[in-house]
Structure 1
Amino acid sequence: MKHHLKPSRLSLRDVLGVGAVGLRARRARVVLSALGIAIGIATMVAVVGLSESSRADLMAQLDRLGTNLLTAEAGEDLEGNRIKLPKSAVAMVERVGPVLHATAAADIDARIRRSDLVPQERSAGVIAQAVHLDLLTTLGGEVDQGSWLTPAGERLPTTVLGSVAAQRLGVNRTGETIMMNNTRVVVVGILRPLELVPTLDRVAMVGFPAAEQHFGFDGHPTTVFERSTDAAVEDVWAILPRTISPGNEAGVKVSRPSDALAAKAATNEGLTTLMLGLGAVALLVGGVGVANTMVISVLERRQEIGLRRALGATRHAIRLQFLTESLLLSGLGGITGALLGTATTYGFAHAQDWTAVVPPWSLAGGLAATLLIGVLAGLYPAIRASRLHPTVALNGT
Structure 2
Amino acid sequence: MTAPPEPARLRLRDVAAVGLTGLRGRPLRAALSALGIAIGVATMVGLVGISAVSRAALLAQIDAIGTDLLTVTAGTSITGQQATLPATAEGMVSRIPGVTGVTATGTVKNTTVRRTDLVDPSTTSGIAVQAARTTLLSALGGSMRTGTFLNAATSRYPAVVLGSTAARRLGIDSAGEHVFIAGRWFLVIGVADQLPAAAEIDRSALIGWEFARRLGFDGNATTLYERSTDDTVGAVRSVLAATVDPEHPEQVQVSRPSDVLTARAAAERTFTGLFFGLGVITLLAGGVGIANIMVIAVLERRQEIGLRRALGATTGQIRLQFLTESMALSALGGVAGVLLGLAACLGFAWWRDWPLALPADAIAGGAAAAITVGALAGVYPARRAARLTPTEALATT
Report the equivalent of 1:362: 362
Query: What are the Cα deviations for residues 294-325 of structure 1, in whole angstroms up to 9, with x where unaligned?
Result: 10110011111112222222211111111111
Report the equivalent of 2:75: 75
Structure 2 residue runs without a partner (length 5+): none
Query: What are the Cα deviations for residues 165-218 of structure 1, in whole angstroms up to 9, with x where unaligned?
Result: 223334444444433333443333322222210111121222222222x12222
Query: What are the Cα deviations for residues 200-243 of structure 1, in whole angstroms up to 9, with x where unaligned?
Result: 1121222222222x122222211111011122212211111011
Query: What are the Cα deviations for residues 22-64 of structure 1, in whole angstroms up to 9, with x where unaligned?
Result: 1111111111101111111122111222222222222222212
Give runs of ≥4 in structure 1 deviating > 6 Å: none
What amino acid is aligned across from residue 141 of structure 1 in structure 2? Answer: G
TM-score of the pair, normalised by structure 1: 0.94
Report the equivalent of 2:27: 27
What amino acid is aligned across from residue 178 of structure 1 in structure 2? Answer: V
SS in 2 for 1:104: strand
Query: What are the Cα deviations for residues 131-174 of structure 1, in whole angstroms up to 9, with x where unaligned?
Result: 21211121122233332222233233332222222233344444
Contact 1:103 1:226 in 2 (8 A): yes
Contact 1:240 1:254 in 2 (8 A): yes
Cα deviation for residue 271 of structure 1 reads: 2.1
Partners in 2 of 1:249 and 1:7 — Cα distance? 89
Equivalences for residues 120-135 of structure 1 within 5 A = 120-135=121-136
What amino acid is aligned across from residue 170 of structure 2 in structure 1? Answer: L
Partners in 2 of 1:176 and 1:5 — Cα distance? 95
What amino acid is aligned across from residue 237 of structure 1 in structure 2? Answer: R
Most deviating of 261-270 and 284-293: 261-270
SS in 1 for 2:206: strand
TM-score of the pair, normalised by structure 2: 0.94
Report the equivalent of 2:207: 206
Report the equivalent of 1:164: 165
Partners in 2 of 1:170 and 1:357 — Cα distance? 34
Cα 1:171–1:373 change in 2 (3 A) is closer
Most deviating of 148-157 and 334-343: 148-157
Contact 2:64 2:141 in 1 (8 A): no
Contact 1:45 1:358 in 2 (8 A): no
Identity among equivalent positions (%) equals: 50
Cα RMSD of the aligned pairs, angstroms, is 1.9
What amino acid is aligned across from residue 290 of structure 2 in structure 1? Answer: V
Partners in 1 of 2:167 and 2:329 — Cα distance? 58
Contact 1:71 1:254 in 2 (8 A): yes
Cα 1:347–1:154 change in 2 (3 A) is closer
Partners in 2 of 1:319 and 1:175 — Cα distance? 77
Contact 1:67 1:256 in 2 (8 A): yes
Equivalences for residues 1-397 of structure 1 within 5 A = 3=3, 5-109=5-109, 110-212=111-213, 214-397=214-397
Partners in 2 of 1:304 and 1:129 — Cα distance? 83
Structure 1 residue runs without a partner (length 5+): none
Partners in 1 of 2:311 and 2:178 — Cα distance? 95
What amino acid is aligned across from residue 351 of structure 2 in structure 1? Answer: A
Q: What is the aligned length? A: 396
Partners in 1 of 2:7 and 2:146 — Cα distance? 84
